[in-house]
Structure 1
Amino acid sequence: QSILLFFSSKKSGGFGGMFGMLKGLVGSKSLTREDMEPVLEKMKDHLIAKNVAADISSKLCDSVAIKLEGKVMGTFTTVASTVKQALQGSLVQILQPKRRVDILRDVMDAQSQRRPFVITFCGVNGVGKSTNLAKISFWLIENGFTVLIAACDTFRAGAVEQLRTHQRRLNSLHPPEQHGGRPVVQLYEKGYGKDAAGIAMEAIAYARNQTFDVVLVDTAGRMQDNTPLMTALAKLIAINMPDLVLFVGEALVGNEAVDQLVKFNQALADHSMSEKPRLIDGIVLTKFDTIDDKVCDNGVL
């Protein structure tokens, strides 16, 4: 959507900018790939210059070529309209998730089964896992659910205290007296240096016994080439089988966030002891307030 808006904006030159290069395709004969190649190359360069990732630019141009090949374009307006439709269709296909992610509905499904819905957060160091876990906690309690935060970052100094601060502030926004005297957010922690997989297991069992709706599992930041930490994360996921595994990446790095996710997911698979390892289900992009249009075209795509 951001790309299509950019194409039609005055800042980018509108038709004179992006679509102006398509004027050469107007004519009476049916279009061939050879006819379109020079225009498609210019279009690809234009997209890359505007911070669209190179592989996404290639996919978009290929989709345009498929739509135009063999057609007769009598007017410039027809060409522009066809290209817009091709771009929109390609963007929808690229952004279409492979699995349905509807957390609120999934939490209610888990409620009907009398069990907590479990989400595990993972990612590299310093991207904002704990902070965004707190934001998601707020969103969940705003929707009427109770949350147990499992402090499974037993490595970073201050990680447990950070979560305790978030818990206190969240409960001040939703005081226990407004919810039958029960805090809507609680923290399950066992200190530092303990086995993260074991703490997660205990937290999930506690949440089931105390009828919490959601368990949010915070894990330590780690690089994908850190074998001991990746093995520990694979163990945590394999033992506890969370409903959702979310990779937290920062929007600031643009398309590098996608590369990080792919490498992290592969490392998770490599360090798993299962033939069918439980891998990452989705990405949470953080720090949107520090960047411009780069993430909209690069990071998401």
Structure 2
Amino acid sequence: MFYEFTDAGILKNIIRNKSIRKEDLTPVLERVRESLLRKNVAASIAEQVCADTCASLIGKQVDMLESLNKKINAVIRNSLARILSHAESFDLLMQIRAAKAKKIPYTITFVGVNGVGKSTSLSKVASWLLSNGFTVLIAACDTFRAGAVEQLRTHCQRLDVPLYERGYEKDPAKIAQEAILQARHQGIDVVLIDTAGRMQDNEPLMRALSNLVSLNSPDLVLFVGEALVGNDAVDQLQKFDSSLVNLDRRGKKRIIDGIVVSKFDTIDDKVGAILSMVFASGAPVLFIGCGQSYQDLQTPNIENLIDTLLS
């Protein structure tokens, strides 16, 4: 898709100077920046995209308005694609099959702040795994929130998958460890570990999460973030990452491996939180939750996301 970021006045300046100068790009980049901010992209990331665009275009020779617009569009799309392309190189199904061939359960831990839909997202991923022919065990390791175990039990009944739980006031790290052992003994393919929601600045809860991850070494740590959060996603992800590393007493230095974006169907075209989360963590977006049913789970379409960001 093609977007107009310049006009005849800017073109005349460029033609007169025979090449693109930084001052020629200033009004163009301001339009790009405003477009990204309107889509809920974090300001720091919008600035980075503009800086990449500027560096790639300065000194280039252009003699037609259409040619200039094409160059600008191509550079911006490439900059966005570099940020978002992590997901395309991550093959989760292949990793699970490799673990299954070794008769080892593949373990996924779901983390995130309060109220973002971790348990619902976990259940959608469970449904997706079932549709791909894998067996699943869900571990109830949210031992803080009243009703968390009961909520998971309802999901498990609807999905017809087993639940490993030990109630409340237990050590969640030990519960996860026991669930993984049970899955191994029963030949279950994948263990999905639910954890308590916690704010990124709550050190006691972040320390408990770091202990769970360090003790059990899950194959994948998935951060569940709301599509609505925008700039807050950067702070959340960076602090979850730093807590997993800095509070780990075993020296494993584990960080977020992937991202699930929840409530994507509530944001219209303000898709910038996805860009913000990937940029902040370097982790790919593996799934996008886009509705209320278990089947409302998508893998990201990079080209469509870029089209929406620039529209």
Q: Same fold (TM over 0.5)?
A: yes
Instruction: Provide the C-alpha distance between the structure 1 equivalents of 2:205 and 2:38, rounded to a whole number of angstroms.
Output: 38
2:6·2:28 contact (CA, 8 Å) conserved in 1? no
TM-fit CA distance, 1:220: 0.8
Corresponding position: 1:299 with 2:279: no
Instruction: Provide the C-alpha distance between the structure 1 equivalents of 2:87 and 2:244, rounded to a whole number of angstroms.
Output: 19
Corresponding position: 1:119 with 2:130: no
The residue identity in structure 2 corresponding to 1:119 is I
1:61-210 correspondence to structure 2 within 5 Å:
61-97=50-86, 100-171=89-160, 185-210=161-186
RMSD (Å) for aligned C-alpha atoms = 2.0
1:225·1:267 contact (CA, 8 Å) conserved in 2? no
1:24-63 correspondence to structure 2 within 5 Å:
24-28=12-16, 29-63=18-52
Higher relative contact order (CA 8 A, sep 6+): 2
Task: Check 1:25–1:217 CA distance in 2 against 1; reply closer, same or farther (3 A cut).
Answer: farther
Task: Check 1:157–1:140 CA distance in 2 against 1; reply closer, same or farther (3 A cut).
Answer: same
TM-fit CA distance, 1:275: 3.5
TM-score w.r.t. length of structure 2: 0.82
CA deviations over 1:60-82 (Å, ceiling 9, x no partner): 22222222211221110110111
Aligned-pair identity in percent equals 52
Instruction: Provide the C-alpha distance between the structure 1 equivalents of 2:100 and 2:155, rounded to a whole number of angstroms.
Output: 25
Corresponding position: 1:225 with 2:213: no
TM-fit CA distance, 1:34: 3.4
Moved more, 162-171 or 47-56: 47-56
Instruction: Provide the C-alpha distance between the structure 2 equivalents of 1:63 and 1:96, rounded to a whole number of angstroms.
Output: 16
TM-score w.r.t. length of structure 1: 0.84
1:238·1:278 contact (CA, 8 Å) conserved in 2? yes
CA deviations over 1:38-92 (Å, ceiling 9, x no partner): 4433443444345433222222222222222112211101101111110111011
Q: Which residue pairs with 1:179 in the alignment?
A: none
TM-fit CA distance, 1:115: 0.5
Moved more, 156-165 or 271-280: 271-280
1:274-285 correspondence to structure 2 within 5 Å:
274-285=250-261
What secondary structure is seen at the aligned counterpart in 1 of 2:98? helix
Instruction: Provide the C-alpha distance between the structure 2 equivalents of 1:260 and 1:164, rounded to a whole number of angstroms.
Output: 28
1:51·1:297 contact (CA, 8 Å) conserved in 2? yes
TM-fit CA distance, 1:292: 2.0
Q: Which runs of 5+ in 2 are unaligned?
A: 277-311
Q: Which residue pairs with 1:23 in the alignment?
A: 11
Instruction: Provide the C-alpha distance between the structure 1 equivalents of 2:114 and 2:81, rounded to a whole number of angstroms.
Output: 32
Instruction: Provide the C-alpha distance between the structure 2 equivalents of 1:68 and 1:229, rounded to a whole number of angstroms.
Output: 47
Which of 250, 253, 272 is residue 226 of structure 2 equivalent to?
250
Instruction: Provide the C-alpha distance between the structure 2 equivalents of 1:134 and 1:102, rounded to a whole number of angstroms.
Output: 20
CA deviations over 1:193-234 (Å, ceiling 9, x no partner): 111111111100000000000000001111122222111111
2:111·2:224 contact (CA, 8 Å) conserved in 1? yes
The residue identity in structure 2 corresponding to 1:148 is L
2:14·2:21 contact (CA, 8 Å) conserved in 1? no
The residue identity in structure 1 corresponding to 2:21 is T
Q: Which residue pairs with 2:287 in the alignment?
A: none
1:125·1:222 contact (CA, 8 Å) conserved in 2? yes
